[in-house]
Structure 1
Amino acid sequence: MDMTAVRLTTAAAPGGRALLLRPWTSSDAAGLAELYRDPALRRRAAADVADEAGAARWVNEQRLGWQRGKRFAFAVVDTGAGGSGERLVGHAVLKNVTPGAPSAEVGYWTAAHARGRGVAPRALRALTDWAFAAFADRGLERLELLHQADNTASCRVAEKSRYAFTGTLPAAPPAFPLDGHLHVRERAA
């Protein structure tokens, strides 16, 4: 899949603008490093982004995911932010895509400055619609959303995006030190 061709647009926020989801680019590294200064983001996200060099490595990993057809990561940007061009507001990803497998996983995060504006649910809905359309011929029928059980904001995002809560998963340290919630969305027939 040509990573430069995929662009997704979210629904507009009430009284606001739509957001653009596009593949991460090397020019995003400085902005990504800035966003990762947020302790809440570092606590919830699994990426090792301590500085601009780490951000550049992470962006390159996302590019390789597209090339391999297994991980499709999108920068979520506000294209009209103060008339100054694009501003990073989040991340959305479709991962663990395997031809013939009926399920894959979605993930997301929102930048501190954009929380509370509906960024994550809008990005997740756009990603979900795209995933089911783009990978129907590969047999994709189910998307899973996993998050730490104490992350109530992610439960709200899942609910707003029609991902049903299906259960609690036990902690599996060190990678998953806390219990997790599993939410699922099935492809509409």
Structure 2
Amino acid sequence: MHTTPTRLVAGALTLRPWSPEDSAGLAELYRDEALRRWTSEAVHDEAGAARWVTAQQRGWEAGDRLAFAVEETWEETPEETRAPDTAARLVGNVVLKYPARGSGSAEVGYWTAAHARGRGVAPRALTALTDWAFTAFAHEGLTRLELLHQVDNVASCRVAEKAGFAWTGTLPAAPPTFPLDGHAHVRRAPTAA
């Protein structure tokens, strides 16, 4: 099922589908050791970044993986981290993984660029994605979003809580994809009054 790409705005953040023009910037962001540690993507250079972007575009076409590049406008971006001659800077990724359309449940994920961590980018982007997903897919019965992360990723627990995802339990490791135990967080769609 094809899903039409969309743009979301959350204050100074813009969430938009990834494009081939993002490959060089994405490769640069993946030089960050922490980002590579917490994500499972194999982005080592610009060619790997281009393959990753193409995979995200295929997710939109299939309608089962809706990934957004997160950009921040200059007003919120510290001057020392601004790219010259640009109005915005790439600061992260959020994704809605919805392979079983109509099941009532989907998963969300995110990451934040090193230069944007600690400024509330991830919770704001995740909240925007979550609110959009519950609205856009209400007609399909989407009522539950799940967020999973490794137990030792304390920052992800904080992001989940700030974005309204309640901790629901610990999941056992499932190597090689999930080498350590994980935390599960859930957010439910708001009920109609």
**TM-score, L = length of structure 1:** 0.93
Match of 1:174 among 169, 173, 176: 176
Which amino acid in structure 2 is aligned with residue 134 of structure 1? A
Match of 1:150 among 149, 152, 156: 152
Which amino acid in structure 2 is aligned with residue 35 of structure 1? L
Residue 7 of structure 1 corresponds to which residue in structure 2?
A: 7
Which amino acid in structure 2 is aligned with residue 32 of structure 1? L
Which amino acid in structure 2 is aligned with residue 7 of structure 1? R
Which amino acid in structure 2 is aligned with residue 26 of structure 1? P
Q: How does 1:19-30 map to 2 (within 5 A)?
A: 19-30=13-24
Match of 1:62 among 26, 32, 56: 56
Say which SS state the counterpart of residue 134 (structure 2) adopts: helix
- Offset of residue 9 of structure 1: 1.0
Distance 1:113 1:161 in 2: 20
Shift >4 Å, 4+ stretches: none
Distance 2:98 2:145 in 1: 10
Aligned Cα root-mean-square deviation (Å): 1.1
Q: Unaligned 5+ residue runs, structure 1?
A: 13-17
Match of 1:105 among 91, 98, 107: 107
What is the percentage of aligned positions where both structures have the same residue? 66
Number of aligned positions between the proteins: 181
Q: Unaligned 5+ residue runs, structure 2?
A: none
Distance 1:176 1:125 in 2: 25
Distance 1:90 1:26 in 2: 16
Distance 1:43 1:117 in 2: 20
